Amino acid sequence: MPTALITGATAGIGAAFARHLAADAYSLVLVARDELRLAKAADQLKLRYGVRVEVLPADLATEEGLAKVESRLRDGVDLLVNNAGFGNAGHFPYVPVENELRMLKVHCEAVLRLTLAALPGMRERGRGAIVNVASVAAFFGSRSTYSASKAWVVNFSESAAATVAGSGIRVMALCPGFVRTEFHQRASMDSSGIPWFLWLKAEDVVRAGLRDLALGKRVSVPDLRYKLIVAIGRLVPRGLQATVSRRIGR
């Protein structure tokens, strides 16, 4: 039975990954900060799907939390989903620097270190996969550090995928648009200005992402709407991108 480790596994896209992979008979290692939510999610998954679920409470913005997850990954997993992430309320340069550094720790350092921890075991077995959850924001400029950190995730994932090509290991950046999750609420962001037709369901994002992973894609942009937005966005000057981004929301 294959094993998947998912960070940020108790809500949103991470929880959708857990449900989808459990339905595919994966054993799960769920990582999140809230131990009570982890235990509840594990109980529900075991009851519904009959799979083995391990919980690993850890804050990836701390050295202790990162080291704990690194240690578990060195024991071996077949799939790593680096999903943990968050947004900051406010815009650069008005967000406190400690909040910006925390974001970079979770979005960039954690992705780097957990990927490095998982790779040796995957190389030894000659198989494995890593999904790094980024965002469509990675392709557009904005007034926040969020898009810059997600651009790093995409670039890193593409570079890592090229490095392990031919080894039986796949690395992919998953870049969804606006998804109905707790993300905006937790960041105290007003999402009322986002048009209804831009919202995606977490389950659809996961389904599309895993399909693209199986196809060997290095970057996955779920949904035709966002594929078109990204394609058009590549032709639009950065200054205009930032203006549009401010108008429809982060």
Q: How many CB atoms lie within 10 A of CB 27?
A: 17
Is 26 annotated in the active site? Answer: no
Bridge pairing between strands 53-57 and 27-32: parallel
Question: Cα–Cα distance between 40 and 186 in angstroms, integer?
Answer: 20
The active-site residue, picked from 26, 49, 94, 146, is 146
Per DSSP, helices labelled H in the chain are 12-23, 35-49, 63-74, 97-104, 110-125, 145-163, 183-186, 202-214, 224-233, 238-248
CA distance 155 to 170: 15
C-beta of residue 130 within 8 angstroms of C-beta of residue 169: yes
Catalytic residues: 146
